[in-house]
Amino acid sequence: MSDSNVDRDPGSGIRDPKIAELIAAARAAREHACADFSRFKVGAALETIDGAIVTGCNVENATYGLTVCAERIALFKALSEGHRKFRRIVVVAPPDAPTPPCGPCRQLLWEFAGDIEVILANLHGETGRHTIGELLPQPFDARLLK
């Protein structure tokens, strides 16, 4: 998927109400981020196959290495609540440039959610769309362990 596939209505912004709902949920989750060191607050909203929305925000600490990203928190919450099939994830971060998931988030999303859609947004609107397969073109997964 490329940015040209963005489902927009030039007069009123995003046309798909579910996408708008996901972006709003990710923005709201972002407000709970624990980013005292980097000040880089991120929110994520993961949509299950049945339409439920599970959110997450980044939680960092002084070592940075133990920081957990918003995408992983949303995924772990969803899995811990029994969800196993997913449609897409929205990631909201502050810069104007698209901010895709980091490598570990891409890996875990691939393993637990498959080749889902990834919608990137900032505080003003959508900034891009991709699939996990586009972001992680040669994933390591269980098929390689056989």
Residues marked as catalytic: 71
Neighbours of 120 (CB within 10 A): 22
Cα angle: 98, vertex 139, 70; to 5 degrees: 40
